[in-house]
Amino acid sequence: MKKTLSFILFAVFFATQSIAATSTTNYTLIKPAINDPVDADRWGNQWNDNADTLDTELYQSQYGISAYAVSTGASPNVYELDYTPDVTALTAGLELSFKAHQDNTGVSTLNVDGLGAVVIKKDISVDLAAGDVKTGLVVTVVYDGTNFQLKSRALEEANVITTRGDIIRGDTAGAAERLAIGAAGMSLVSDGTDAVWGFPFKNYQVFSTAGVDTFNTPAGVTKVAVAVWGAGGGGGAAVGNYSAGEGIIAYGGGGGAGGFTFGIVTPGASETVTIGTGGAGGTAPNVITANDGADGGASSFGALLSATGGKGGQGAYIKNGYGGIGGLGSLGLYNSKGEEGANGATKNNFEQYRTNDERNIDILTDEFNTGYSGRGGMPALGGQYGEGVAIGNDGNDGEYGAGGSGGASENSVSLQDGGDGGDGLVIVFW
């Protein structure tokens, strides 16, 4: 009887010392049952405790980030996190993520599993500014041994809304802003401070002498930007003639401006550059002849880009002369027509020295009864055209790509020539 009781008591004692088999939380590592009361404290519990630790460490190591959490905190700019499993220590390189419960309004701190408030920085050492963290934003931070470095940052809604081709960049305050897409052919370059749309070229060569020249492509250059202006047309001559009974005062029309083109092209080892010659002003060789101005010549960069010259202004015999039309650019990313020369204005028809598009404006005051000859057309991007002249004067010459103005004659004694158009121009950038 005593032996039987002793066996039962031993069995009960043994059962109370046994530990059933279990597994770890994340990777289900087996923690074996411990049935040996002698070895339970010597190795069994130690292994099972180590298995839990190993499981947690493997989980954090594999994902590089602790379990996702939603922040709490009653005070502004305070973010408190409670992860499962707990983060037991902050070590350099630890990466965490959380969903923010509130907007920040300035310097902010993060308290992870009660380990203490740690300041959140951006851009290495800069305190957070208002709006860097938004409610509902999933924030990622990395502990650097002293602070948490912010990896993700909220973008203002207005800055995130973009149209096709726009780019998001940081402004002077470090916030996001939208950079609208640049014009065709432009590249994103640095101005030394910001990223801006521009042309990535540092060198240029100007061709401004009428005739033919050569551009030798520098070694290593595969793209060049080229601007081409055609030559301006000459202004028309003027001859007044009282005996004809009309048009006592005559004003020649202005020459049209040359066309313009701009393009970014791939040059050969060399390219022929042609600069158009400005159209000569019309002449008044006698009392019954007022010649038209000559047309301006075309300019080109090899066969890659070209711009025609402006037309000469009409000579004025008895009545006013009309302005010449502008030249045309072609083959480039941007092509434009040169401005037309202005019409001459005569005393009898009261027509102001304006362009063909404007000539229908009624002028009924004496202000324009003694008008001016038609001015020359202005080239693209500006340039000095030949200014219209008053009676008794030859026309003025235009500069690069611009038209010359017409002459202005008072009567048959005053025979006035038109001004010359400006030569063309080519500028190569690389």
Residue-level pLDDT at 350 = 37
- At residue 345, φ and ψ (nearest 5 deg) are -120, 130
Residues 6+ apart with CB under 8 A from 88: 113
**Top-confidence residue, 295 or 8:** 295
Mean pLDDT of 383-411: 93
| Consecutive H or E run containing 14 | helix 2-17
pLDDT in tens, 115-129: 999 999 998 899 999
Contact indicator for 91, 118 with CB cutoff of 8 Å? no
CA distance 297 to 209: 12
Nearest one of 393, 421, 230, 422 to 312, comparing CA atoms = 421
Contact indicator for 77, 133 with CB cutoff of 8 Å? no
pTM for the model: 0.54
pLDDT in tens, 87-141: 888 989 888 989 999 999 999 999 999 999 999 999 889 999 998 899 998 999 9
pLDDT in tens, 38-58: 444 454 555 566 666 666 666
Is the CA virtual torsion 174, 180, 183, 185 positive or negative? Answer: positive
Nearest one of 136, 175, 129 to 156, comparing CA atoms = 175
pLDDT in tens, 173-206: 666 677 777 776 667 777 667 777 776 778 999 9
Residue 409, judged by CB atoms within 10 A of its CB (0-12, 13-18, 19+), counts as buried
CA distance 260 to 327: 8
Radius of gyration of the chain (CA): 43
